[in-house]
Structure 1
Amino acid sequence: MAGRGASEQPQRVTIAAAAWPSAAADEAAVKALDLVGDPSVEEVRLTSRPESASTARRLAVSVLRQWSLPQLSDTVELLVSELVGNAVRHTGARTFGIRMLHRRGWIRVEVRDPSRALPCLLPVRELDVSGRGLFLVDKLSDRWGVDLQPRGKTTWFELRVLDR
């Protein structure tokens, strides 16, 4: 009997968790935006550390929830990680900024840093363990690019969305 009860309990926990993630996730999303800033309103500056990638991902997913576009979360999380990773690893900057824009049919995510060094899209081989970031951005986004600024650059990607 103990074995049967042990196998039933995880199922009940899973079902219970599946019943409320929307409300809990909405609350967590609002909290993240309140604490750190809302990149859909203005650029949010983050410290250039590897840990900041998780904050940037959380902010991006929170904005997608506000825009009722949670179906884009996995792709946006991955691509934000890649752009933030490049900004943190390759620029030597103390901070970077993230901004998100939504216009009819598109979302755009921008990562701005003070370096004017352009990122390079490298050919990727099967056994490569690094250098895949922009390859992923190129394959998974509908458009991407780099805009040079007077002080630094903005690397961005866009995804097409179906408007209701």
Structure 2
Amino acid sequence: MGTEGTPMLDLLRHQVLPVDMRTLSGTATLALASRPESVRRARDFTRSTLHGWRLPEQFDAVALVVSELVTNALRHGVRSVNGSSGEHAGDYEPAPAPTAVELELMRYSGRLVCAVHDPSELAPRVGEMDGAAESGRGLHLVECFSDGWGWRPLTGERPGKVVWAVFRTG
């Protein structure tokens, strides 16, 4: 866990988000292992970070989005790299990786960005809404609870992709 360093979205420049990088006022990063408890750890990290930034009113929406993005990264991003398509979520346990996924929260003037890096280069897919299904709603929730989201493949030394969501902070 850290609060210093170059935000991963610096690698993506202005092509990704409608934010001015010069207005960055805070960044916090958390490395997550490929374990189910990492989702709770990401939510706890989000709570403490938002509290430190005096944005506790943002927690409910941001925590839901963080949970969905980290879950998707662990379920689909890590599995696709470890040799499973992720179609049979209960049939495959990915090989543990010291740092499988990285969560970064960034505070800008009037905006909060949640970015999740995973090792897969596969594009996130918005599934069809099926009210009876137990999964497949994640990106629909991200779309509903954030003010925008997107993704971008990474190149160079850092393989994989970043999936991000942006929130207005008033």
TM norm. shorter chain > 0.5: yes
Q: Are the equivalent residues in 2 in contact too, given 1:145–1:157 (CA < 8 A)?
A: yes
TM-aligned CA distance change 1:132 to 1:142, over 3 Å: same
Match for residue 6 of structure 1? none
Separation (CA, whole Å) in 2 of partners of 1:42 and 1:61: 12
Match for residue 96 of structure 1? 101
TM-score (norm 2): 0.70
Per-residue CA deviation, residues 93-117 of structure 1 (Å, 9 max, x unaligned), is: 6311011111111100100011001
What is the letter of the counterpart of residue 49 of structure 1?
A: R
Cα deviation, residue 37, structure 1: 3.5
Between Structure 1 and Structure 2, which shows a larger proportion of helix residues?
A: 1
Structure with max Cα Rg: 1
TM-score (norm 1): 0.72
Separation (CA, whole Å) in 2 of partners of 1:156 and 1:101: 11
Stretches of structure 1 that go unaligned for 5 or more consecutive residues are 1-35
Ranked by relative contact order (alpha carbons within 8 Å, sequence separation 6 or more), the top structure is: 2
Match for residue 8 of structure 1? none
Q: Are the equivalent residues in 2 in contact too, given 1:38–1:59 (CA < 8 A)?
A: no
What is the letter of the counterpart of residue 132 of structure 2?
A: L
- 1:67-86 pair list within 5 angstroms: 67-86=53-72
Asked if residue 114 in structure 1 is aligned to residue 119 in structure 2, the reply is yes
SS of structure 1 residue aligned to 2:115? strand
Tell me how many residue pairs correspond in the alignment.
Answer: 127
Cα deviation, residue 46, structure 1: 1.2
Separation (CA, whole Å) in 2 of partners of 1:47 and 1:76: 20
Match for residue 26 of structure 1? none
Stretches of structure 2 that go unaligned for 5 or more consecutive residues are 5-25, 82-96
What is the letter of the counterpart of residue 39 of structure 2?
A: A
2:128 to 118, 123, 128: 123
Match for residue 152 of structure 2? 147
SS of structure 2 residue aligned to 1:158? strand
What is the letter of the counterpart of residue 59 of structure 2?
A: S
Cα deviation, residue 45, structure 1: 1.3
Separation (CA, whole Å) in 2 of partners of 1:58 and 1:72: 14
Cα deviation, residue 55, structure 1: 0.7
Percentage identity across aligned positions? 37
Match for residue 53 of structure 1? 39
Q: Are the equivalent residues in 2 in contact too, given 1:46–1:96 (CA < 8 A)?
A: yes
Cα deviation, residue 42, structure 1: 5.0
Q: Are the equivalent residues in 2 in contact too, given 1:48–1:87 (CA < 8 A)?
A: no
Q: Are the equivalent residues in 2 in contact too, given 1:38–1:63 (CA < 8 A)?
A: no
Per-residue CA deviation, residues 19-51 of structure 1 (Å, 9 max, x unaligned), is: xxxxxxxxxxxxxxxxx4348545321101111
Asked if residue 133 in structure 1 is aligned to residue 138 in structure 2, the reply is yes
Cα deviation, residue 125, structure 1: 2.3
